[in-house]
Amino acid sequence: MKFIKSFFSWIGLFLEKARFFILNLGTAFILILFILIIINVLISKPEVKDSIGSVLIIDPKGSVVDQEVFNKYFLFNARDASAEQIQTRDLIQLIRSAAADDDIPAVLIDFSSTSFAGPTTAINIAKELKALRESGKRVIAFNDHLSTASYLMASQASELWVHPVGSVSVRGLGGLNAYQRELYKNLKVNFHNYSQGEFKSALEPNTRSNMSENERNQRQALLNPIWNEMKSLMADGRSIEASVIQSFADNFVGFIGEAALGNIDYAKTNNIIDGTKSFPEFRQYMIDEFGLDEEAEIDTYKSISYKDYEKHINRKDIYSDNQISVITAEGAIMEGEVSRGVAGANELIRQIRSAYEENNTKAIILRVNSPGGSIIASEMIRDELLAAKKKDINIIVSMGDYAASGGVYISTPADYIFAEPTTITGSIGVAFAIPTFEKVIDFIGVNFDGVVTSKHGGWNLAQAIDDDLDKIFVSWGADAYRRFIHFVSESRSQSPKDIEKIANGRVWIGTNANAIGLVDEIGGIEEAIKYAANMNALKDYQVKYYGDELTYGEKIIKKLQKNSEISQRVPSVLSALDGLVGLLETFISIKEPKALFTCMDCLVELD
């Protein structure tokens, strides 16, 4: 019995040791394999596909933004873990390179899976496609569905084809807000609005049952010029009247995205599109036009993706003792690090400091594409720009889709401000509201009592706002507003009274902002760079775009993604956690109300 017991004990020990050995061996094998894959990706040069005689396919699947951001914490942000980013300047360079490339017989475009930072970005890309067509390059659009933004792009093509049971829909701009005053009343929640500026409408949905006339008028003043510019581009691209586009938008809506047969019939009849082709028909059409790809395993035409074509583009790096630094503030202005949709002040001030501490930096261009946000975060960015000016470095601001509220605030140190014709700017005001729940507490039968050593020491959102506290909250908003007015008046060399007339939380389209002196000149980032060079009398200079600085490990992950086209798939459980985080942020914003330099109603959605 003792022998048997000893034998099985030995067997158990052997199996345990064997299990650990096999587990460690397997782990080591996997680790070595992973390291070899990484080394292979890093040292191997990606294959450069021949572009001669190939149709260039431009079909971005992701967001067109001013500055790419690599999210360091991608595993905990499911919303954009695998979303591709395309920098506007890179896409423009690609389109311009194709226009000058005689080896490329045609360009096939499909922007149906592309989103844009805003309407100005979309308009600028459409103008580049228009210039591509006018260069004599054949531009072909083929889609199974087209929305407002993707049709804006497709309409610039030499010819435009849609699948027979696809959809063409131009819905235009604007939308309906949900006004929730009655909801809060039914829930017995008091909403106290301390916003500064008659046009500051960010909190209207919480305090009104309908849109105010001020908000209606300023929305019309913004949307109509942008919509007219888009209609003009669409109509010009198709050689039709803008009224045809308007009639199409008014009477033919494609909510479902497929089998919109009536829309397609109207579009064909009125030259909104050239016609329809199924996928096999279009493939054969392209083979007939451009020849069969002899190297392909299946019958198709010779083509090259825009990602492969980028490898052919000769990017000449200019080295100079003179540097113009471009720093991008894109998204909501908040404390913390830069991430997608967030202009993180902590990271931006590091970029600004890095730029002005470089001896060869002659000017800093702040590219603003933000509707504003936190007051303290806006102050942090502004302070760092002023520190750069103390070193005799010129600050030039280039406003993109949006530079409103906090976007204006961080622009105040500028020596010169450019805005695009359709930039949305202004909204000089303060958004500040406090919900209180005293009626809810009273309804459920809860009373508060206790001892405090100061008058309002025990106050929280569950209690009413008395007259003294009301005066304090009014002064908070008013003081922040006066400070905002002062900085803008100082920046624009106008009196505070003159700025008050154009402030009041009102938003302006770029051309109007230029007319009233909020910006100095209409132009884009290229004009801003040229101005900075001329301002400093630079005969030669290099442009440095600052972005999120990555660790070596993060650079490996990014290169793995790019070279191996690896898409980071996030488990569904993390998606759920991401949603819970968003919900938690909402509750925190209610528990800790803040005054903001924000203009979220400035955003214009493109379908």
Distance CA(206)–CA(192), nearest Å, equals 10
Quote the strand ranges of 492-570, DSSP E.
Answer: 507-509, 521-522, 542-546
Name the 3-class secondary structure at 90: helix
Alpha helices in 138-292 (DSSP H): 148-154, 181-186, 204-207, 213-238, 242-251, 261-269, 279-290
- Of 307, 291, 285, 292, nearest to 58 (Cα)? 307
| Sign of the CA dihedral running 341, 62, 542, 317 | positive
Distance CA(367)–CA(68), nearest Å, equals 13
* Residue of 200, 231, 302, 362 marked active site: 200
- Tokens encoding 101: 């490339």
Name the 3-class secondary structure at 463: coil
- DSSP assignment, residue 47? P
- DSSP assignment, residue 174? -
Name the 3-class secondary structure at 527: helix
Strands 433-436 and 190-193, how do they pair? antiparallel
Look at the block and give the residue holding tokens 């109603």.
Answer: 601
For this structure, is 530 an active site residue? no
Distance CA(578)–CA(506), nearest Å, equals 34
For this structure, is 200 an active site residue? yes
Alpha carbon distances (Å) from 464 to 187, 203, 401, 443? 15, 20, 40, 14
* Residue of 115, 169, 325, 405 marked active site: 405
Distance CA(399)–CA(414), nearest Å, equals 11
**Which residues carry out catalysis?**
200, 405
